[in-house]
Structure 1
Amino acid sequence: MANRFEGKSAFITGAAHGIGAATARLIAEEGGKLVAADVDEDGLNALAAEHDGRIVAARCNVLQPGDIEAGVATCVEAFGGVDIVFSNAGASGPSSRVDEVQDADLDRMMHLHLRAAIAAIRASVPHMRARGGGSIVLTTSVSGMRQGYAPVLYSLSKGALIQLAQIAAVELAGDMIRVNCVCPGFVPTAIFARSMGFAEKTSEKFARRLDDPAKAAQPLPRACTPQDIAEAVAYLSSDAGSFVTGQNLVVDGGLSLTPGSGDSRAVYAPIISALGLDPDEIEPGPAVWSKLGLGKDRN
């Protein structure tokens, strides 16, 4: 188990923090080598420094044409090929109703999640074929399975990824290339905080305060960690998951088994309540900043 990625090379997007960084560390610690891609170069360099020679940092903006292809090419050049792709980069969209969706926001979210995943598949498949197979994992979300967990555009784009994985799994099975999704629930990371309406800078601080309250949102009474998701990605990417393809592996502590609602505020209510906040103040206001101890640092 300790060397399950020995001789394997991987390409991971969104690798500087959270789930991506946890997965990169796990693969490197278990014998693999990888290219860690993200827009945060400082975060990438710090990650690479932890595993000298096993992790190559590559700046990659998945919204920019060619960055993903260049990242995969870097993996091939550095390690001789690519066996594992983890398309993980993502962000939360605006909290608008479906009848208020703007075309520019829709295009951005679909590009960030769906088009980026397709680009990663397109760039890596020829190299995987040359090596006799490989594993591709996409990060989805429980919000892609049912309504009420996140903003509409985030949910739509994550649902599209689930369908993409099923289509690609069938089409690429003959090449021994497996395509799966890892489907987190509430993971106390910055992207989760942003899905609740918090600005990017503030969301990092807010995420650190979510560890205990998050467990109130699902049946399993503890908060999910990036490591929990990384272990699921590792299973799907390793020989242990060699007969698994086209699946959306849900890692949510039972969240998706609880009664649903069309109102995302109702889903977040246990967390908001545990923080001692008014559910009507999910969109940050003065009371929220005071309760969270964030002072005036709101942007």
Structure 2
Amino acid sequence: MDSIGPDLEGKVAIVTGAGSRPGEGVGNGRAAAILLARAGAKLVLADAVAEWAEETRRLIEAEGGEAVVVAADVTKPEECRRIVEAATGRWGRLDALVNNVGIGGPPGTAEEVDPEAWAQGMLVNVTSMMLMAKYAVPAMRAAGGGAIVNIGSVAGLRGGHPNLLYPTSKGAVVNMTRAMAVHHAPDRIRVNCICPGMVYTPMVQRGGMSPEMREARRKRSILQVEGSGWDVGAAVAFLCSGNARWMTGAIVPVDAGATAIAALPSEMR
């Protein structure tokens, strides 16, 4: 991971949430996995729904890449261990981990949210990333270093979300990234966070998205261009590569500039 360049030939990466729901476009995890494979990495594709990850594997192998699928629940320590062992058992090393699993979680303010649903949401969005790192870090240390990329959200950087769980959990991911970067720097493991903005993915479609809502989302940025899972995946591939060898503890918004401004260009005229 020391040499400058995009090449990941001979490296091994895990992507959690590597499948993609049926629908228009591509999920962040699938896009990241495909782009890592194009850079030369071998992939462990972890997902709770094996069928979705198998499609990602098929797409990677159609381009000449190599990948294996592990159906797993990343909220369970023993299954996180099994995901890491799939990498080290087959290829003898682990160089990158992309913590991509996340859910919208329960609705409501502090007054309204169901406490049990809150605990489950924090387990999925935050604890799962800790558990994956728990088993990935020793394997990366043995390989001489590596890169961890945690997928957060612009909701973790600013207020205004209608529900409490999602921005709280994503804010935790942001600061967990900074703490992990310090903890694992002696092992030459870089830890960074990507905060996607209003990207359009199959998961977003599933939540219900009218054409009017989609257009409004597009306009909530400087560039006024709709983002996709490929935009997030490109940032993941960069942070895992030697091009980012001098980056750790970084929080990288991939949001068409939405978090860079207090008002939209049309509102400044």
Q: Does 1:4 align with 2:7?
A: yes
TM-score by length of 2: 0.87
Instruction: Give me the TM-score of the superposition, normalised by structure 1.
Output: 0.79
- Contact 2:106–2:118 (8 Å) recurs in 1: no
Task: Tell me if structure 1 keeps the 8 A contact 2:6–2:242.
Answer: no
Gaps of 5+ in 2: 21-26, 265-269
Deviation at 1:150, TM superposition (A): 5.6
2:78 to 66, 69, 91: 66
SS of the aligned residue for 1:151 comes to coil
- Code of the aligned partner of 2:244: G
1:154 aligns to 2:157 (yes or no):
no
Matched, 1:30 2:33: no
* 1:190 positional shift: 3.9
Cα 1:36–1:175 change in 2 (3 A) is same
Distance 1:147 1:226 in 2: 23
Q: Which amino acid aligns with 1:174?
A: P
TM alignment of 1:212-227, pairs within 5 A? 212-227=215-230
Matches within 5 A, 1:69-108: 69-108=81-120
The correspondence of residues 107-126 of structure 1 with structure 2, limited to 5 A, is 107-126=119-138
Find the aligned partners of 1:110 and 1:256 in 2 and give their Cα distance.
24
> Percent of counterpart pairs with the same letter?
32
Q: How far off is 1:61 after superposition? A: 1.5
Correspondence for 2:50 among 28, 41, 44:
41
The reply on whether 1:187 has 2:199 as its aligned counterpart is yes
Aligned Cα RMSD in Å? Answer: 2.2
Within 2, Cα distance between the matches of 1:62 and 1:89?
A: 8
Amino acid at match of 2:131: A
- 2:133 is paired with a residue whose SS is helix
Point out the more displaced range, 236-245 or 42-51: 42-51
1:138–1:165 contact (8 Å) kept in structure 2: yes
Match of 2:249 among 246, 249, 256: 246
Q: Deviations over 1:195-253 (max 9, x none)?
A: xxx3xxxx4xx389876553212121210111111111111110000110001111101
Contact 2:195–2:251 under 8 Å retained in 1 = yes
Aligned residue for 1:221, secondary structure, equals: coil
Does the C-alpha gap of structure 1 residues 257 and 98 become closer, same or farther in structure 2, counting only changes over 3 Å?
Answer: farther
Instruction: Read off the aligned partner of 1:67 and give its amino acid letter.
Output: E
Give, as a single letter, the amino acid of the residue that structure 1 aligns with 2:238: Y
Aligned to 1:229: 232
Q: Which moved more, 1:120-129 or 1:142-151?
A: 142-151
Change over 3 Å in CA distance of 1:7–1:150 after alignment to 2:
farther
SS at match of 2:18: coil
Counterpart of 1:264 in structure 2 is none
Which runs of no fewer than 5 residues in structure 1 stay unpaired?
261-266, 268-299
CA distance in 1, matches of 2:221, 2:74: 32
SS in 2 for 1:89: coil
Cα distance in 2 for residues equivalent to 1:140 and 1:47 = 22
| Residue 62 of structure 1: how far off its partner (Å) | 1.7
2-structure distance, mates of 1:235, 1:132: 19
For the 8 Å contact 1:28–1:34, the answer to whether it is kept is yes
